[in-house]
Amino acid sequence: MHEVGIATSILEAGHRETERRPGAKLVGIGVRIGVLSGVDVEALRFAFECITAETDDGQVVLTTEKCPRMNRCEDCGQEFSSAELAPFSDAPCPRCSSTHTSFVSGDQLDIAFIEVEEP
């Protein structure tokens, strides 16, 4: 629902980073989206297309990497993703079956890289 705002922030950040490199042209942006970020990747891609279409940014390619929820087992220390078991919920440790686990990551909404063409 707020993906247009997020897409706009991504594009602005992409341009901010590009401006640090005189003469460079922004051609791609890579983002990491966690399953718990509250952002829908398909809606974000659609929003990004809408805001860039028929502008100077029409050729900018958005690359998205989905990140699973990562948990840490408090009993044996194993870090594991609960994506295969249930995308959002806390799953038992695959090594020792403990359910005493904590949240590590999965709410990312990060810009990983930009791609630029340089003169």
What residues line the site for other proteins (CB under 8 A)?
Answer: 1-2, 5-6, 9-10, 13, 17, 21, 24, 27-28, 31, 35-39, 88-90, 101-103, 107, 109-118
Nearer to other proteins, 38 or 77 (CB): 38
**Rounded to the nearest whole angstrom, what is the least distance from the CB of residue 43 to other proteins in the complex?**
10
* CA-CA-CA-CA torsion sign (51, 55, 58, 62): negative
Whether 87 and 35 have beta carbons less than 8 Å apart is answered as yes
Nearer to other proteins, 1 or 53 (CB): 1
- Given the complex with other proteins, which of 49 and 88 has the nearer CB atom? 88
Angle (CA) 73-75-79 rounded to 5° is 25
Output the smallest distance, CB 25 to other proteins, in A.
10
- Residues linked to residue 72 through DSSP beta bridges, in sequence order: 79, 102
Least distance between other proteins and beta carbon 2 (Å): 4
Using the minimum distance from each CB to other proteins, give the nearer residue, 95 or 113. 113
For residues 68 and 75, give the distance between their C-alpha atoms in angstroms, rounded to a whole number. Answer: 21
Sign, Cα dihedral of 43, 14, 63, 70: negative
Instruction: In angstroms, give the least distance from the CB of 103 to other proteins.
Output: 7
